[in-house]
Structure 1
Amino acid sequence: MSSRLPHFSVESASSEQKDVLQAILTGPRGNLNGPFLSWIHSPELASRAQELGAFCRYGTGLSLRLSELAILCTAAKWKSQAEWYIHYPIGIDAGLKADVLEDLRLDRAPKFENSDETLIWRFVEDLYEKKRVSDEIYQEAVTSFGVKTVVNLVGLLGYYTLVAMSLNVFDVRADGQIELPFPDTP
């Protein structure tokens, strides 16, 4: 994994860093792929962020398919190499269509087969492009998913924006990543 940050070694890690690593490795993720080896340079941030991330990934009330769609929309908006690389196969396994994801990657409006996917995309587009969500889209989301899940969706989008920013700023690539889904320009 490449990075702008200094090399991190478990052998020289502080007790706080080791505690965070253990929590990540024994949690639902089970690996350190992604922003975690960036965040480990600030163990308190790493600890809090990984706990929030576990909730945002697994506890929002959205199906895995819709969560992964929201994550991949975020990765595409931020052109986050590692975030896309890590979540693309998860999204495909969860039922997202490759042609839809290719449209997202290329910043084209996808042609969804499922209305819930269309709604997630419209919500994300509105929020990222206008920095707000229209009353119409908001009401559709609340009607479809409920208030609590819409609140959680906003949290998921905020968390994965933090992930994308971290991966981009620190130039992190995922384990095994060779090809980049987005042009690698500053």
Structure 2
Amino acid sequence: MKDNNRLPLFDRSTATNEQAAVLDEILSGPRGNLDGPFLSWVYSPEFAQRAQRLGAFCRYDTGLPLRLSELAILVTAAHWRSQAEWHIHHPIALQAGVPAHVAGSIRCNETPVFDDPDDRLIYDFATQLNETRRVSNETYEQALNRFGHVVMVNLTGLLGYYTLVAMTLNVFETRAALQVELPFPE
């Protein structure tokens, strides 16, 4: 299994029952792989179990279209300059309909030009929360009117979850499987 620079290589053959159960749940779920923070989190199986379940909800069940969820994830990955998070989510975002020029601008810390007002709204919400630790009243009201309270809670949770992912990947210097190029300078 893929290792990273700060934790020992995880060996499935020596996994505890709790570790094996977490890994099996991740592999049998919608992700189907262990790319990302999971081989770091597995050193604390209870944390891994709780975090990966939250992550599955945040990734697949927020009430946002996949394009908007992935756009929010890219904003967070770029904010944290998370090499693996960007590497994993960039192709998913493009496939979900995030325009390549928008993703490129986000990666380069430039404000994108948006064709879709929902994309702009998600970008503004995620950028404000990541950069200022707050969301302006104007952006909040626009997002609330567009998406409603439930999705607003879920969007905020998604941004928090992917911040946790980025922090984990950065602390343990984790790279994605098969990642050769880095999207951000070190």
Task: After TM superposition, give the deviation of residue 34 of structure 1 in Å.
Answer: 0.3
Aligned twin of 2:63: 61
2-structure distance, mates of 1:100, 1:35: 26
Per-residue CA distance 1:24-45 (angstroms, 9 max, x = gap) = 0001101000000000000011
Aligned partner of 1:81 in structure 2 is: 83
2:95 corresponds to 1:114: no
Q: Percent identity?
A: 59
CA distance in 2: counterparts of 1:179 and 1:130, whole angstroms: 30
1:21 shift after superposition: 0.3
> Partner amino acid for 1:126?
Q
Q: Paired residue for 1:90?
A: 92
- TM-score where L is the length of structure 2: 0.98
TM-score when normalising by structure 1: 0.98
- Alpha-carbon distance between aligned partners in 2 of 1:166 and 1:38, rounded to the nearest angstrom: 7
1:175 correspondence with 2:173 = no
Aligned position for 1:144: 146
**Residue 168 of structure 2 corresponds to which residue in structure 1?**
166
Q: CA deviation at 1:14?
A: 0.3
State the distance in 2 between where 1:54 and 1:127 align.
Answer: 22
TM-fit CA distance, 1:3: 2.9
Give the deviation of 1:126 after TM superposition.
1.2
RMSD: 0.6
For the residue of structure 2 that corresponds to 1:146, the secondary structure is: helix
Q: Unaligned stretches of 5+ in structure 1?
A: none
Distance of 2:180 and 2:104 partners within structure 1: 18
Separation in 2, partners of 1:12, 1:130 = 44
1:43 aligns with 45
AA partner of residue 150 (structure 1):
M
How far 1:7 moved relative to its partner?
A: 1.0
